[in-house]
Amino acid sequence: MKFGKLTGYQTTGRQVSLDFEGQRAVITAVTPEIIRVFCGWEEAGSRSHAIEGDKEKPVALEVKQRGKGLFLSTGKVQVTVEDGFAVDFFDETGRPVCQEYRGERRPLQRVSGQQQRLLEEEGHEGARQETMAFEVVKRLTGREHFYGLGDKTGFLDKRHYAYTMWNTDDPSPQVDCFQALYKSIPFFITLTDTHVYGIFLDNSYKSFFNMGQESEEYYYFGAAGGNLDYYYLAGDSLPQVLARYMYLTGTCPLPQKWTLGYHQSRWGYTVQEDMEEVARTMREKDIPCDALHFDIDYMQDFKVFTWNEERYHGDSAAYLESLARRGFKAVAISDPGVKKEKGYPVYEEGVEKGFFAKTPQGEVYINAVWPGDAAFPDFGSPKVRDWWGEKQKFLLDKGVRGVWNDMNEPASFHGPLPDDVVFTDEDRPAPHQRMHNLYGHLMAQAAYSGLKRLDGRRPFVITRACYAGSQKYATCWTGDNHSIWAHLQMAIPQLVNLGLSGMPFAGTDVGGFGSDTTEELLLRWVQVGCFSPLFRNHSAMGTRRQEPWQFGDRAVEIYRKYVKLRYHWIPYLYDLFWEEERTGAPILRPLVYHYEKDETAKTCNDEFLFGDRILVAPVVEQGKDKRLVYLPEGEWYDYWSREKQTGPCAVIKDAPIEVCPIYVKAGSVLPTMEEMAYVGEKEPETLTLEVFPGEGEWEHYLDNGEDFAYREGRYHQYRFTVDKTGAVQVEILHGGYEKPYRHIYADCMGEKTEIL
Ligand code: MIG
């Protein structure tokens, strides 16, 4: 890709068309803070799958010639464009923020030139260089930290690492050097000493992000195909930059409240008796639980939208009804691969209507997944999405309350899908290469829209594969981790980076999916899991069972303590979701999100914030019974002892196996829930606030927790204000919910007073 000299330009409103010797390009000021940089080779009009609707806001764009190039200003962001499509971004005062790298590229030397030639001659795989349709190379000043990029392995700060965006199902234990996992979210946030900005590459082809792994002088991103199409997002803080990304790609809608409860799952609950034993023991052992997950074995020969009734005494709907009476909601898996089988209606219908991906010769493309030979629904077509959405009725009629989309990278057992398999992109054919990273996203969209139409409640869809913007339709989990300590450690940076990538509703398989867990690992994992927005214990067939009672009474007691703590704070968590829906603020946050000047926070991998009030410093190392806790600026109460600490400081906290170190910021009012075996067991008539003295306030949200009536104003919004003495004032900001609390109590260090 050669741009050459800038030879001319035209301005129309918010848009500047640029003529280079070799290419035409466009810069658009979408809003005063969001700049789109575009050069399109692929058919015009191929629309974004991440961004829905018109995002333009009024902008007065100033454009003038300056030196060798052009100068643009929105009043908030200044941009210069020079020969070679070098684009530099400055803040409103003209200080550089993100600049093109103009020096020499020095690709990493992996082999000597001589070796390289030999390898190429022998046709060795490793000798092949990935070819990119374009690359954007930006300068490093040496002080950058990078966050986001989806579900990648490794650590909080992505600096010095390289990643590939290509949705991948690789069951081997994921480690730092993995370049790709299940999700492709080509968005990152850069934090320097003086600035913060975001870059979103809206390109669904295989893309590459080299965050200063190759060089200390530059970082770069590029893609194997498609358009050069990125957004520069300015902001004064990390939350602001993320909010702009969420403005573009949408926030995660408020979920049904029960989805925030505890979920129990295992690939291996095969028949009704297995499920029943789990359900019964959950209640017997007094471990709150809201959801049971039905993995692939509930299906007839792994055929999507079928149920193996034999395994459920001939009446699965009756069984799901019996679970529902006891407060358990059923979540059922559904895989995209449709079994190739004569007489199977989903397959025959799909073939007849042309709803499956095809070979370039126009035949239905077949690969193998769980049901054996299978066809792949072409989710890029709106007709196919509608069809798949309608099919959700089968599950709803059984009494299913949530749909779990797996294998939607898409995964395939007979080698990867070839690049040229033909899918549809809305209204035109498109190769697998372009649709691969969108596949899970579009499948989730199909399930979400179908459920919304058919059920009316807030759809609950869990997806494994994602693209930017999937948060609008689905929650996600991080896929097949293992029961190893490294994966408990990785869970923290992975979940907070997912939050910084716009996927706030996420969780890891608590206890670990593959390999055998231990009592200690499970107990330390539940201490992290109870804060994850999605809280599910899940494990693979053939591994050691990992319900807490497999490990004896002590394990049950400690496990229960943390599941109960989760339920205790569900009203607080629900408030965070309410905030998230409006602003995009994540639920789990790295310390740097709120303390971006704090050097320790910038690379802190083993602590996180649950909202802005609660700091969690879990033990994630085997055999540890104390840990060093870092507390950023401000006053913090040890949740267990109520001892006060003034940050920034580091404290050594005793943390035997039953203790997860938790700190609450002074000036907090945490809404809590009465003890319940599941969400909705009792109508919440009273609210108790846990008060931590100091100046502060909290907005609390209440609605029916189930449908969309809140969008018509049927909710209550309260504001609680606390002072240094711990006294709490309450105001009702909005009073639209028909069943508000009858009583509100404030509990300040054990002293309870009625405040409403
Ligand atoms: O090829 O449905 O990540 O959660 O239990 C494995 C069986 C297929 C992978 C999912 C996992 C699920 C499993 N699935």
Asked if residue 97 belongs to a domain, the reply is: yes
Residues 603 and 734 in one domain: no
Asked if residue 644 belongs to a domain, the reply is: yes
Ranking 111-125, 278-292, 682-696, 697-711 by mean pLDDT, the lowest is 111-125
319's enclosing H/E stretch is helix 316-325
Residues 613 and 726 in one domain: no
Count of domains observed in the chain: 3
Give the whole-angstrom CA distance, residue 457 versus residue 451: 8
pLDDT confidence of residue 2? 86
Give the whole-angstrom CA distance, residue 260 versus residue 571: 10
Which of 33, 82, 335, 406 is catalytic? The answer is 406
Torsion sign over Cα 170, 174, 179, 181 = positive
**From the CB of 548, is ligand 1 less than 6 Å away?**
no
Torsion sign over Cα 411, 414, 420, 421 = negative
- Tokens representing 748 are 């300040």
pLDDT confidence of residue 132? 87
Asked if residue 123 belongs to a domain, the reply is: yes
Kindly give the distance from the C-alpha atom of residue 544 to the centroid of ligand 1, in angstroms, as a whole number: 16
Kindly give the distance from the C-alpha atom of residue 410 to the centroid of ligand 1, in angstroms, as a whole number: 13
138's enclosing H/E stretch is strand 134-139
**From the CB of 333, is ligand 1 less than 6 Å away?**
yes
Residues 604 and 732 in one domain: no
Instruction: Kindly report the protein residue whose alpha carbon is nearest to atom 13 of ligand 1.
Output: 267
DSSP state of 159: T
Domain boundary, last residue among 184, 216, 249? 249
Residues 140 and 213 in one domain: yes
Asked if residue 390 belongs to a domain, the reply is: no
Give the whole-angstrom CA distance, residue 392 versus residue 595: 44
Residues 19 and 100 in one domain: yes
Q: What is the CATH number of the domain that holds 202?
A: 2.60.40.1760
Nearest CA to 728 out of 754, 703, 707 is that of 754
Residues 31 and 149 in one domain: yes
Return the HEC string of 625-664.
CEEEEEEEEEEEEECCCCCEEEEEEEEEEECCCCCCCEEE
Residues 110 and 190 in one domain: yes
Asked if residue 239 belongs to a domain, the reply is: yes
In this predicted model, what pLDDT tens digit does every residue of 493-545 receive, in sequence order?
Answer: 999 999 999 999 999 999 999 999 999 999 999 999 999 999 999 999 999 99
Mean pLDDT to the nearest integer, 347-369: 98
**pLDDT of residue 120 exceeding 80:** no
pLDDT confidence of residue 125? 62
Q: Report the nearest atom of ligand 1 relative to the CA of 296.
A: 2
Amino acid (one-letter) located at 334: S
To the nearest whole number, what is the mean pLDDT of the chain?
96
pLDDT confidence of residue 280? 98
pLDDT band at 425 (very low <50, low <70, confident <90, very high): very high
In this predicted model, what pLDDT tens digit does every residue of 318-355 receive, in sequence order?
Answer: 999 999 999 999 999 999 999 999 999 999 999 999 99
pLDDT confidence of residue 358? 98
Nearest CA to 461 out of 449, 469, 453 is that of 449
Residues 22 and 113 in one domain: yes
Kindly give the distance from the C-alpha atom of residue 338 to the centroid of ligand 1, in angstroms, as a whole number: 16
Q: What is the CATH number of the domain that holds 605?
A: 2.60.40.1180
Asked if residue 338 belongs to a domain, the reply is: no
Residues 618 and 736 in one domain: no
Ranking 330-334, 480-484, 683-687 by mean pLDDT, the lowest is 683-687
Residues 56 and 176 in one domain: yes
Q: Report the nearest atom of ligand 1 relative to the CA of 335.
A: 2
406 in catalytic set = yes
For a mutational test of ligand 1's pocket, the pick from 167, 294, 295, i.e. the residue with the most ligand atoms closer than 8 A to its C-beta, is 295
Domain boundary, last residue among 232, 249, 266? 249
**pLDDT of residue 128 exceeding 60:** no
Judged by DSSP in three states, 310 sits in helix
**Which structural domain, as residue segments, surrounds residue 602?**
588-665
427 in catalytic set = no
Judged by DSSP in three states, 338 sits in strand
Asked if residue 334 belongs to a domain, the reply is: no
Residues 68 and 130 in one domain: yes
Domain boundary, last residue among 225, 249, 273? 249
723 touches 666 (CB < 8 A): no
703 in catalytic set = no
Nearest CA to 245 out of 48, 79, 469 is that of 469
Asked if residue 469 belongs to a domain, the reply is: no
Give the whole-angstrom CA distance, residue 204 versus residue 437: 6
pLDDT band at 129 (very low <50, low <70, confident <90, very high): low
**From the CB of 698, is ligand 1 less than 6 Å away?**
no
Percent above pLDDT 70 for the chain: 99
Compute the residue count for the chain. 756
Residues 597 and 743 in one domain: no
